Amino acid sequence: QVQLVESGGGSVQAGGSLRLSCAMTGFTWNEKCVAWFRQVPGKEREGVGSIYIGSYTTTNYADSVKGRFTISQDNANNTVYLQMNSLKVEDTAMYHCATKQWLCGSVWYSWSTYSVRGQGTQVTVSA
């Protein structure tokens, strides 16, 4: 059974850092796209960034996090990370990872295109 489990969320002051993990179990895909999304109650879900993992890797980021967030992967541990630096109060949200087979594509930020999604981990940034 394929599963994604996020961890690493918590509370941090503005300017601080957190690293989220997305542990992937049960997958046999040779190529996949893994994305991070975030959502605040009452607001639309936002694509934070994605990583294509195949014979090479490539990443995409939302403008709101470029230069502050970095997505990376650890093949040996089947884990994708979201390193978040210079956190802002507006980064407060529930963060989810999601995955789909093959390329991320031009619509990597579209939640509905991902076939497997995690339950999320809460990130709270205080002023």
Q: Are 78 and 59 contacting, i.e. CB atoms less than 8 angstroms apart?
A: no
What is the average pLDDT value for the chain, to the nearest integer?
Answer: 96
- Check residue 1 and give its pLDDT: 85
CA-wise closest residue to 68 among 6, 123, 7: 123
Beta bridge partners of 13: 126
- Check residue 123 and give its pLDDT: 98
- Evaluate the CA torsion angle 89, 93, 95, 101 in order and state its sign: negative
Q: How confident is the model at residue 116 (pLDDT cuts 50, 70, 90)?
A: very high
- Check residue 63 and give its pLDDT: 97
The Cα 93–Cα 62 span in angstroms is 15
- 10-66 residue pLDDT tens: 999 999 999 999 999 999 898 999 999 999 999 999 999 999 999 999 999 999 999
